[in-house]
Structures are given as structure tokens and as C-alpha cells.
Amino acid sequence: GNSVTQMEGPVTLSEEAFLTINCTYTATGYPSLFWYVQYPGEGLQLLLKATKADDKGSNKGFEATYRKETTSFHLEKGSVQVSDSAVYFCALSGSWQGGKLIFGQGTELSVKP
């Protein structure tokens, strides 16, 4: 079946450190891939997306590249800030499943000053 696997958290970094959160997926066909961010006590916000192989999504300094050959969509940021502390969810969606989102388990990021 279709699934998403993220690296386990929590991830704790110092401010200005480099961030990588790994995400791999299993899917039939060609899914769209997403990263959502959830700040404490809030709903999910779309951080970035990619809809086909080799697409790079980017937003607010975060980037992720859709790698079909490795079925991955790793999230990266060159220099994290305290305000980036949140839970990050990798997700996929495809027309074969009625557009439903399949989420990874989420990775909690804590950035210390």
C-alpha cells in the first residue's frame, strides 16, 4: 500500500544549524509530495510541495526535492531559527486514492538559542 516514513524525532538543534528531516515514501503511480508544518496549538500549514519527479519545492528557506529513483522527499534548511520549532509532516497524495493525504508520523523539531 501507499505509505510515508519519516525520521523519528525529536530533533534538537542549535540556532543556525543545518537541518535535514528524512522522508521516504511507497506509492503506486506518481504521487504529489508535501511538507506540512504544525506550530504548537495550531493547525497544519503547507510548507512546500512538489508534484512530479525532480521538482524542488521551496519556502521560507526550506527546500525538498522529489527524488523518484530513491522515493525520497527530504526536507532541508541551511540555517534554522528558534521560530522553526514545530512538528513537520511529510505527506503524499494521488488521484488513485481520491486525493487523500497519507501522512508520515511527524518529526518534532526543537531549536535552541
Partner 1 sequence: DAMVIQNPRYQVTQFGKPVTLSCSQTLNHNVMYWYQQKSSQAPKLLFHYYDKDFNNEADTPDNFQSRRPNTSFCFLDIRSPGLGDAAMYLCATSRPLVKSYNEQFFGPGTRLTVL
> Which residues of the chain form contacts with partner 1 (CB under 8 A)?
32, 34, 36, 38, 41-46, 49, 87, 89, 93-95, 98-101, 103-106, 108
Helix, strand, coil share (%) of the chain residues, nearest 5: 5, 50, 40
Q: Which is nearer to partner 1, 77 or 104 (CB)?
A: 104
Q: What is the largest CA-CA distance in the chain?
A: 44
Q: Which is nearer to partner 1, 26 or 79 (CB)?
A: 26
Closest separation in Å from C-beta 61 to partner 1? 20
Using an 8 Å Cβ cutoff, are 49 and 97 in contact? no
Closest separation in Å from C-beta 3 to partner 1? 11
Closest separation in Å from C-beta 98 to partner 1? 7
Q: Which is nearer to partner 1, 63 or 103 (CB)?
A: 103
> Over the range 70-83, which residues count as b (16 or more CB within 10 Å of their CB) and which as e?
ebbbbbebeebeee
Tell me the C-alpha distance between 91 and 93, whole Å. Answer: 7
Q: Which is nearer to partner 1, 14 or 105 (CB)?
A: 105
* Cell numbers at 76, concatenated: 532541508
